[in-house]
Structure 1
């Protein structure tokens, strides 16, 4: 799939590279040096497996490019949502297609880099939850930190350094586990829902 990079206008930027999807259960151990993908099966992922969601009134090339193995996405605060009927904020995101799931265990893995002054941007989410909410997980950048939604902080001082992100969603147990640089940092409720999918990109 290559590297994935995300941008948002002005001082808001984020990068994610080499993202992968996995299915099936791995050990529940939180050992720092354990390969978090052991026991999982990597799913094939290609351009046909992603939908690029972008402001509906601009061509794809105005907010997305793929050059030398790097996906680049950016949005502006003045941009429109991804569809005429949407009331959501501007976004340019990769929505994973064909791998929606409603049971079992799924994992998202990526390498990421958040440039200085990035704040108020969602860089990864698990879409789908109970009827009271749209998402099971959102990982955001806020004032130099990565956070689970707005809190708690998952990793402080995240600006200008590469990090590894693993998110493991156990639908049946209704849990989401988050690892930064191979270290377990947070476990949250799964928020249930009939179907889930991974998304990553710039969602202001």
Structure 2
């Protein structure tokens, strides 16, 4: 059974105090070797992705093509993390995000490998609010703010 721990820590609404959320975890560095970059198939990578000063920037537009000409999915620009063993144990990922005002329906995080269905978790932004899939509200007022 796949067990995956996702920590969404939005500092403005959740105070961790002095707790260290990384206690008990072993850091695993992520490098370009761990990444599979996907982008609209008809657009050069540098038009949808950049990496400068340790910051990965990805963007996609509603009228973009999917990542593959044979795909029936929505357009995407994403980093898939490869080469790590997710078959057992507990995993933690920490990242920061930014969603510009007016963006809606964007997926912030997606975890595959559910026992039923394709995904265990999807976090999306709708009208500035983060939701679990398109239902349960996780946090509000996230446009033009960093997502911790």
Q: Does 1:110 align with 2:95?
A: yes
User: Distance between the aligned counterparts of 1:61 and 1:91, measured in 2?
Assistant: 14
Q: Is 1:78 the equivalent of 2:74?
A: no
Give the gaps of 5 or more residues in structure 2.
6-14
Q: Tell me what 1:44 maps to.
A: 29
Which of these residues, 122, 130, 142, is aligned with residue 138 of structure 1? 122
- Tell me by how many angstroms 1:100 deviates: 4.1
In 2, Cα distance between equivalents of 1:126 and 1:100 = 14
Residue matched to 1:123: 108
- Aligned counterparts of 2:36 and 2:146: Cα–Cα separation in 1: 26
Q: In the aligned structure 2, how far is the partner of 1:160 from the partner of 1:79? A: 22
TM-score, length-scaled by structure 1: 0.60
Q: Distance in 2 between matches of 1:62 and 1:109?
A: 25
Number of residues of Structure 1 aligned to a counterpart in Structure 2:
136
Equivalent position to 1:152, from 128, 136, 140: 136
Residues in 1 aligned to 2:128 and 2:91: alpha-carbon distance in whole angstroms: 28
Question: How far, CA to CA, are the matches of 1:100 and 1:137 in structure 2?
Answer: 18
- Residue 48 of structure 2 corresponds to 63
* 1:161 CA drift (Å): 2.2
Deviations 1:61-96 (A, max 9, x none): 121122233222122222221122221000000000
Give CA-to-partner distance per residue, 1:70-128, whole Å, 9 cap, x none.
Answer: 22212222222112222100000000010141111011111233222221100111122
- Report Cα offsets for 1:173-197 as digits up to 9, x if no partner: xxxxxxxxxxxxxxxxxxxxxxxxx
TM-score (norm 2): 0.81
| Partners of 2:103 and 2:126 within 8 A in 1 | yes
